[in-house]
Amino acid sequence: MKYIYLLGACGSIGTQTLDVIRQYSNELKVIGVSVGKDSELAKQIIDEFKPEIVCFRTKEQLQLLATNDYISCYGDEGLLQVASYHKYENELLVNALVGSAGLKPTVFAIKQGKNIALANKETLVMAGDQIKSLIKEKGVNLYPIDSEHSAIWQCLQGEDRKEIKSVIITASGGSFRDKTREELVGVTKEQALSHPNWKMGAKITIDSATMMNKGFEVIEAHHLFDLPYDSIRTIMHRESIIHSMVEYNDLGIKAHLATPDMRGPILYALLYPHHLDYSGNALDLLKVKSLHFEELSIERFPCLGFAYEAGIKGGLYPTALNAANEAAVKLFLNNKIEFLDIEQIIKKELSKDYSCQNPSIDDILELNERIQLRILKEYGA
């Protein structure tokens, strides 16, 4: 039996993780969860999976829903309680939180000896070097859930990492892939949230529209697979059938194909190294018929270029990148700025000096909070 702690149980990745756990309930047991603001869904999850510890979003929600059947906590401190809860030998924390709030619980879980299945991009974007060092120190494993990184991971099985020439991360192009720069002026929040291929949370959908999501994935790939940035390529692939590719020194390319369904990568991360039966829709190549690839231009998608820039500079630049993006997306979702203002806010932040080398987790968290608060205050949020 593998004992699961699921942070972000009410979100898109969280609910799909629970679908996988239902299918493999003889092998996976939920011990801890954090739930979101949807109290009805939260209650359904608690009643069905009967966890031992539950983190609620707010104190009011805890007072409304909590019972004596489990340990109750709430807020950011509650996330750390769930991450630190330790009772079994074979424990796995699934981090499906959105934003920088996911970093500290990852750290606490690693320190308790839990393996990590990671969907929270910001953990590695902000603190990739620190997380890798801590994982090595504690002897735990980190399994990627993102479909792109899961695809690379699966393509690398049985291969010598020294023989990799490059990895190629595909992108759907997001909700504005067919618009020119000029046509992006005045686009609405509702338009930005209409993704052509995937059903995701609001922040990641906006990040997909700006292509910051793909930039974050480049930084993640650098840390996950120990690759230099000039060996990580991105390409637009509208169908979202090929999720990533690995090019080897002999110029052969290995690709991972699957329908755009996150349950496959989640299943592989939860029950690695096994490819177990899954009840989803199989990929029918005869129906797909053709696959298309296009250049991802940083002139068209400046946020992708910002991510490469911050990753290569290192230090606290990736933290500044994440903080500025997170604040800007909040502002856009709250109708405080225009869509194109997101990239301008990020560009301005990256023009400052964040060259501090070997920052601590505390340094990273402090700077992230300081930048976000300053930007939000500047725009009246």
Q: Set out the domains of the chain in order of their start, with CATH numbers.
A: 2-144 (3.40.50.720), 149-261+285-313 (no CATH)
Residue 33 DSSP label? E
Count the alpha carbons within 13 Å of 148 in the hemisphere toward its beta carbon.
Answer: 27
Read off the pTM. 0.95
Across the strands, what pairs with 198? none
Helices and strands in the chain: count of H runs, count of E runs: 16, 11
Q: What one-character-per-residue DSSP string does 109-161 give? A: HHHTT-EEEE--HHHHHHHHHHHHHHHHHHT--EEE-SHHHHHHHHHTTTS-G
CB of 179 closer than 8 Å to CB of 47:
no
Each of the 381 residues of the chain gets a pLDDT tens digit; together they read 999 999 999 999 999 999 999 999 999 999 999 999 999 999 999 999 999 999 999 999 999 999 999 999 999 999 999 999 999 999 999 999 999 999 999 999 999 999 999 999 999 999 999 999 999 999 999 999 999 999 999 999 999 999 999 999 999 988 899 999 999 999 999 999 987 666 677 898 999 999 999 999 999 999 999 999 999 999 999 999 999 999 999 999 999 999 999 999 999 999 999 999 988 889 999 999 999 999 999 999 999 999 999 999 999 999 999 999 999 999 999 999 999 999 999 999 999 999 988 899 999 999 999 999 999 999 987
Give backbone dihedrals phi and psi of 318, rounded to 5 degrees, phi first: -60, -35
Please give the torsion angle defined by the CA atoms of residues 197, 199, 203 and 204, in that order, rounded to the nearest 10 degrees. -50
Dist CA 255 CA 206 (whole Å): 27
Question: Which is nearest to 156 in space by CA: 255, 222, 266, 257?
Answer: 255
Q: Where are the alpha helices (DSSP H) in 6-102?
A: 12-23, 39-49, 59-65, 75-84
CA atoms within 13 A on the CB side of 273: 7
